[in-house]
Amino acid sequence: MTTSQHADREKFEHLRTTLETAGVHAVLGTTVNAAGLTLAKSVPMQRFEAFHRTGLGAARVWPVFCIDAAIASAPGIDATGDLRLRIDIDAVRDIGNGLAWAPADLRTQQGHSIGACTRSLLTDIETHLASAGLTALVGHELEFVLVAPDGAAQGGGWVPYGATGLLDQESFAADLLAAAGAAGLRIEQLHSEYGPQQFEFSLAPAAPVATADAVVLAKLLVGRTARRHGLRASFSPKPFHGAVGNGAHQHFSLWRDGRPLFGGGDGPHGLTLEGGAAIGGILRGLADVQGLLTGSLLSGARLSPGMWSGAHAGWGLENRETAVRLIQGGAPEGSNVEVKCIDPSAGVYAATAAVLALALDGITDGAALPDEVEGDPSGWSDEDRAAAGVPLLSDDLTTILAALDGSERARRLLGDDIVDATVGVRRHELDTYGDREPEEVADLFRLAWSI
């Protein structure tokens, strides 16, 4: 045994002993697929080592399981062959009640990473950033709506951003924060949102993969806590037709040699040249990757002007209507960029990978920073938008998927496998349910992205 193998074994044994001493008897490992679904396997503690070293068998269709349990077709994926679901033991958390959780990667049987594994993709993008001398900090905000176990709306009055909701669901909120604290999940705030029974949590900024892992853990704890209170949490982009949507806004900052790119520069609002190019890169490629950010059948319904969903394909300082909102200072981490158009039906790893890959692409070739959107564009006419060069993001899934499928940029930056898997699962949603009434689609898939 080499010294490093010895150290690895010692670390593993220490972790196993710590978990067993804490009463952990099973480990759950999760992966997020192209449809934004969280898939999992669990093992008793005796099989913890196998889950980490060799992984557990998973059919090759895992990346393309759809929101209705169908299997989409994608090149090279069929019923033959097998993958391995392998947990990352550096990210294991004791989540209480005898259960530990860990994020996992889908790999080949030989242990190689695969292009359709969204977590491996984000790991690669984090490595590309590091090779370019850049570090990213990412923080997520997730909105969800509490519903009855059968998906029915909860009654009662509601004050947007009110204290009322926090008291109505006081024991749920207290249990959620306690569960997060015990699992080492850094929830920065929890508040009631605009829509009835809608809540939001924000996660502390961290490295891209680590914070995407934290989103999965947070959704798991929200789902678990909701169940204990006889509830479920909807992470659908449009939980109820005609009502407020759920967003999954992603904040990020970029750093070179310890200096921020989104502050302290000579550009607009202190942007550095590279910070401006990162925003320029995102806006330049937004239509290419929209299928990874707002690509489900319910995503388009959320993207209307006036809903603070970032439906305008531009950027602005503290602008809640632009897809990219620059947030200046104030926060302890300094200025950051919020990509507001993302919704929770997107797979968190793939969506983060798409945003960061576009930002890096913009920095690499010095993408131009478009003019800022000044003021609230939600009342603009088509002519106003055309004059400003700020179109609305598409809300048409056929258009969104054709753009992704045909995008040389998306394929170059993210790889064919993830593009093809995403187009496959989302086209299935469109082909199967695209003709249904929006009310029915909202009802059918209200809990599709919940854990």
Residues that bind ligand GLU (CB under 6 A): 143, 194, 244-247, 302, 307-309, 320
* In the complex, minimum distance from the CB of residue 345 to Mg ion, in angstroms, rounded to a whole number: 16
Among residues 245 and 314, whose Cβ is nearest to ligand GLU?
245
Tokens representing residue 385 in the block: 């938008």
Using the rule CB under 5 A, give the single segment among 64-72, 193-201, 220-228, 383-391 that binds Mg ion. Answer: 193-201
Q: Shortest Cβ distance from residue 235 to Mg ion (Å)?
A: 13
3-state class of 418 per DSSP? Answer: helix
Q: How far is CA 368 from CA 5, 334, 440, in A?
A: 48, 23, 43
Nearer CB in complex with ligand GLU: 104/218: 218
With CB cut-offs between 5 and 8 Å by kind, which of ligand GLU, Mg ion, none does residue 255 bind?
A: none
CA-CA distance, 17 to 138, in Å (whole number)?
Answer: 32
Q: Minimum distance from CB of 244 to Mg ion (Å)? A: 10
Q: Which residue number has the CB closest to Mg ion?
A: 200
The residue among 56, 130, 124 whose CA lies nearest residue 350 is 124
Amino acid at the residue 279:
I
Specify whether the CB–CB gap between 299 and 396 falls below 8 A. Answer: no
**Nearest to 434, CA basis, from 393, 397, 394:** 397
Q: How far is the CB of 234 from ligand GLU (least distance, A)?
A: 13
| Strands annotated E in 231-298 | 232-234, 250-256, 259-260
- Nearer to ligand GLU (CB atom), residue 228 or residue 320: 320
Nearest residue (CB) to ligand GLU, 145 versus 278: 145
When CB distances are held under 5 to 8 angstroms depending on the partner's kind, the choice from ligand GLU, Mg ion, none that residue 411 binds is none
Q: Give the interface segment with Mg ion, choosing from 119-127, 200-208, 278-286, 398-406 (CB under 5 A).
A: 200-208
Q: How far is the CB of 188 from ligand GLU (least distance, A)?
A: 14
Q: Which stretch binds Mg ion (CB under 5 A): 67-75, 196-204, 227-235, 391-399?
A: 196-204
322 binds, among ligand GLU, Mg ion, none (CB under 5 to 8 A by kind): none
Give me 135's structure tokens.
Answer: 């570090």
> Which residues neighbour 375 within 8 Å (Cβ) at sequence distance 6 or greater?
none
Going by C-alpha positions, the residue among 210, 126, 217, 226 that lies closest to residue 173 is 226
* Residue 120 binds: one of ligand GLU, Mg ion, none (C-beta under 5 to 8 A by kind): none
Q: Which does 320 bind (CB under 5 to 8 A by kind): ligand GLU, Mg ion, none?
A: ligand GLU
Closest approach, Cβ 339 to ligand GLU, in A, equals: 11
Nearest-CA neighbor of 333 among 260, 265, 276, 273?
260
* Token output for 218: 């947070």
Question: How far apart are CB 441 and ligand GLU at their closest, in Å?
Answer: 17
Residue closer to Mg ion by CB (options 194, 255) is 194
CB of 238 to ligand GLU, least distance (A): 9
**Least distance (Å) between residue 444 CB and ligand GLU:** 20
| 3-class secondary structure, 257 | coil
Chain position whose Cβ is nearest to ligand GLU: 247
250 interface partner picked from ligand GLU, Mg ion, none, CB below 5 to 8 A per type: none
Q: What is the DSSP string of 265-332?
A: SSSGGG--HHHHHHHHHHHHHHHHHHHHHS-STTHHHH--TTSSS--EEEEEET-TTEEEEEE-S-ST
State which residue, 158 or 194, has the beta carbon closest to ligand GLU: 194
Residues in the chain: 451
Of 255, 254, 213, the residue nearest 29 (C-alpha): 213
Which residue matches tokens 């959620």?
176
- Estimate the crossing angle of helix 118-131 against helix 348-364, to 10 degrees: 30
Query: Quick one: what does residue 309 bind among ligand GLU, Mg ion, none, with the CB cut-off 5 to 8 Å set by partner type?
Result: ligand GLU
327 and 333 Cβ atoms separated by less than 8 Å: no
- Which of ligand GLU, Mg ion, none does residue 208 bind (CB under 5 to 8 Å by kind)? none
User: Cβ(95)–Cβ(22) under 8 Å?
Assistant: no
- Binding residue (CB under 5 A) for Mg ion from 105, 124, 126, 200: 200
Contacts to Mg ion by CB under 5 A = 200
